[in-house]
Amino acid sequence: MKRESEFLYTKLYKTLKEQIGTGIIKPGEFLLPENELSSRYGISRKSVRHALSLLLADGLIEKRAGLGTLVPEDLVIAGDKRRTLRILTPSPAFFLDHGLPVFVEAFERQYPDVEVKVHGLPVDKFWESFRSGSEMGLIADLILVPDMQFSKMSNLADFVDLSPFLTGQIDTVYPKIMKHFAAGDRIMAAPFTFSSAFFACNPELFKRHGIPIPEKQWNFDDFVSAAAKLTVVQDGITTQYGFSMHPVINRWLAFALMNGFAPGNIDRQTEVLLQSLSVIRDLFFRKRIATTFPEMVWPRTPFIHGKSAMVLTTMLEMANWQNVDIDFMPRVIPLPFDNDASTLLLANAFMIPASSENAQLAGAFVRTALADETQRALTENTLFLSVKEPINRNAKPEAYLRLLNLSPDRMDNNYFINELFEDRVWNTLEENMSMFWLGLDSPDVIVEKFANLCLEHSNS
């Protein structure tokens, strides 16, 4: 915890120092109060005070009793001839530590006179912080946007059509991914990596319990049987689970897809959703061979610590496991399909705000990120996937892509969440599931809410 706390206050210190150094916060202007800094950047008041003490020691701020903290009126900022490109990202975000640096390094090699600054905003208040930051003078040139955030946006007119920047760069991008970020003939966001939702296992636990690791295909009954054998109970207390997953919709909905959930008929969707949530409740609360965990403990999860043998995950999440100590090598295993070979898709993309003062430079960054050589470096040097099909097929074995359900014959079977139902529906549904994950709401309650949401939407 100590190292994490140090990291948080150091990030705030560097962010505020950069804002002062570039004139975003000008001499004579007050900083936000400590409680607002704490809320905006998602850190404790103690970490905020530590960051401010460093700025105070640097002579970049001063405190006025009863008034607050401000930049000294006589502070002189030395000029910097380098240009700055600012990227805003949700924080925490799986891509920041191991993926984004690949793009930044490639870009700075081509544009050595440009410094790339990455600013993380709290993921749960991202758009609110983005708007308030713009009002304070923190103008973003690029925004990193996950697919679920993009699909909820109603202000696409506030962003630049990227089509002119992407000529010749998107011909080999998976059409399904490209389509998600388009609006008619305009490209509102440029996807640069993606993943499916898939299963991974701890091979050491499989070996310890004498259970063969599934190689090609298995069904749901096989999965449940394995999870039961991999669950360990001591003195009536479960000390190891067969399976675990985040309680978020872009994980558990994969169970519904594996069970035949698809766009279209609401009655059929309701039937499949009820069946799928019943299975999940059975695994978690009746058989007690699976567990979940609050997102706030990410990435300190049962699977990482060897306390669950299997996990429903994504490549975006798995790549981040390199940040933590882990004493085994996770292994991708087949999804336990009984029906359609279908799972969820997730993707990250770049957008350029219309307010950017460096739109051409931001466009050059997007082109660099999507260049074949950069996408190739991403797949060869990290666990992330390219959005370009030929690069993935050259870098990854066909059998591996098939385990991810991304082989050519299966790619179009998969869905982004907004293809399955409207954003307001899934967003409200997820907000109402907290009691379900505690075992206190039945699947019937959730499905009734789902049906009512769909009915409200169809009547609106």
Predicted local distance difference test score (pLDDT) of residue 298? 57
pLDDT at 3 over 50: no
Residues with Cβ within 8 Å of residue 194, at least 6 apart in sequence: 174, 177, 345, 346, 347, 348, 385, 387
Q: Give pLDDT, residue 299.
A: 59
Q: Please, what CATH class does the domain formed by 1-77 belong to?
A: mainly alpha
Q: Are strands 114-122 and 83-91 parallel, antiparallel or unpaired?
A: parallel
Chain segment 392-445, per-residue pLDDT in tens: 999 999 999 999 999 999 999 999 998 998 888 888 888 889 999 999 999 999
Domain boundaries, the chain: 1-77, 196-345+415-459
Best CA proximity match to 191, nearest among 200, 199, 182: 182
Per-residue pLDDT of 180-230, as tens digits, reads 998 888 999 999 999 999 999 999 999 999 999 998 889 999 999 999 999
**Distance between first and last Cα of the chain:** 48
Predicted local confidence at residue 7, as pLDDT: 52
The third-level CATH classification (topology) of the domain covering 196-345+415-459 is D-Maltodextrin-Binding Protein; domain 2 (3.40.190)
Q: What is the mean pLDDT of the chain?
A: 88
Does position 105 have pLDDT exceeding 60, yes or no?
yes
pLDDT single digits (tens) 8-64: 677 788 888 878 877 778 888 898 898 888 877 777 888 889 889 999 988 899 998
Q: What would the pLDDT profile of 323-358 be if each residue is shown by its tens digit?
A: 667 889 999 999 998 767 899 999 999 999 998 889
pLDDT for the residue numbered 137: 63
**Least confident range of 39-48, 121-130, 291-300, 423-432:** 291-300
> How far is Cα 211 from Cα 229, in angstroms, rounded to an integer?
8
Do the two domains 1-77 and 196-345+415-459 of this chain adopt the same fold? no
pLDDT-derived band of residue 254, with 50, 70 and 90 as boundaries?
Answer: very high
- Mean pLDDT on 150-166: 88
What is the greatest pairwise CA distance in the chain?
A: 72
Q: What was the pLDDT predicted at 327?
A: 86
